[in-house]
Copies of this chain bind each other. A is one copy, B any other.
Amino acid sequence: MIQNDLFLRAHRGEAIERYPVWLMRQAGRILPEYRAVRSKLSGFKELVETPEFATEVTIQPVDLLNVDAAIIFSDILVVPEAMGLPYQMIEQKGPWFENTIRSQQEFDRLDQQIDVQDRLWYVFEALKQTKTALNGRVPLIGFAGAPWTILCYMVEGKGSKTFSESRKFLYTQPALAHLLLQRITDVTIAYLKGQVAAGADALQLFDSWAGILGDAQYNEFGIKYISQICEAFPETPLTVFSKGAIGSLPALAQLPCTTLGLDWNMDVNVARNLVQENMTLQGNLDPCVLYGSPQIIEAETKKMLKSFKSQRHIVNLGHGVYPDIDPEMVKVFIHTVQNYAI
């Protein structure tokens, strides 16, 4: 079915001829073609909620950058919105929620028994349209935020350097935190099942704020729920990307998923020793390398590739590509990986 299935084979630990490569945030501001679509619209959310446009920008990096996988253009905050907590995306500022969840009353006001198919139809439709448009060229990745990160936004109501309201919530209302995390987990599982049904070949969980919790707290409020999600997808390649959770790598290495995403501060060989050959590793070039010259990018990329002691790798950056990176430099990175003999 899929012509270039390197990405899927790497997830499963099957033989590969070369390492597959894609970039987090590849469908986005780095591409002038993306900015052209975006400039015609009222805002970020119109792009997320209009399947035709979401499909167009999802396909762009496949056409323009020759990546080995597409990732559906969407936002992790569609889940809290589906749960009854709408958000706005404010230019230059980031997400903003009119209401937050900091008490049992506020939790009780969330919608119950929601129909994910109905509320998030636009994501599923975008996946279907993308699948058709891709025509089997490369696999399509679906995604969601991990429950802890979604809770962070629902409690804080906006981005934060410290997410101290969210961390306060864990100390002052741990039982309510668990109720909320379980609710997010249940909706997320239904949402990701819908994504697989709509055509997603693989899934990724983004735990952007994993790194602000200590290991014991991340185990209790983070990994516990990620584990439930992994268990719900025994057949689907699934990457868990817990940014910053260096101390939790031993626990993450025990998750029932195929793949662990590494940020640029995580040591690939430390992670390899932990997962042995039981998991694929994804990552983890420092996104700032792409500010360098082609020579620097090639050298740093090869240094990373040479450090790999196994074939079970999917190459990516260690964080989303920064919006002011020159797409030509992204191509140097991708070309270096795709021409590296393993």
Which residue on chain B has the smallest CB distance to residue A167? Answer: B288
Residues on B with C-beta less than 8 A from A244 are 211, 244
Is A32 an interface position by the 8 A CB rule? no
| Given A162-B319, A167-B288, A168-B292: 11 more A-B contacts, CB < 8 Å | A162-B322, A167-B286, A171-B288, A171-B289, A172-B292, A214-B267, A215-B265, A217-B286, A246-B247, A247-B266, A247-B267
Q: Are B296 and A171 in contact (CB under 8 A)?
A: yes
Contacts of A170 in B (CB 8 A): 288
Interchain residue pairs with CB less than 8 A apart (28): A161-B161, A162-B319, A162-B322, A164-B287, A164-B288, A164-B291, A167-B286, A167-B288, A167-B291, A168-B288, A168-B291, A168-B292, A171-B286, A171-B296, A171-B300, A172-B291, A172-B292, A172-B293, A172-B296, A211-B244, A211-B265, A212-B265, A213-B265, A214-B267, A215-B267, A217-B286, A246-B246, A247-B267
- Residue tally, chain A, CB below 8 Å to B: 33
Neighbour of A265 across the interface among B247, B270, B292, B319, CB < 8 A: B247
Q: How many subunits of this chain does the assembly comprise? A: 2
A44 located at the interface, meaning its Cβ lies under 8 Å from any Cβ of chain B in the complex: no
Instruction: Tell me if A264 counts as interface (CB < 8 A to partner B).
Output: yes
Q: Which of A129-176 contact B (CB under 8 A)?
A: 161-162, 164, 167-168, 170-172
Q: How far is the CB of A177 from chain B (nearest CB, A)?
A: 12
> Would you give the shortest CB distance from A44 to chain B, in whole angstroms?
18
Q: Interface digits, A116-127 against B, CB 8 Å rule (1 contact, 0 not)?
A: 000000000000
Query: A162: which B residues are within 8 A, CB to CB?
Result: 319, 322
With a cutoff of 8 Å between Cβ atoms, the chain B residues found around residue A171 in the complex are 286, 288-289, 291-292, 296, 300
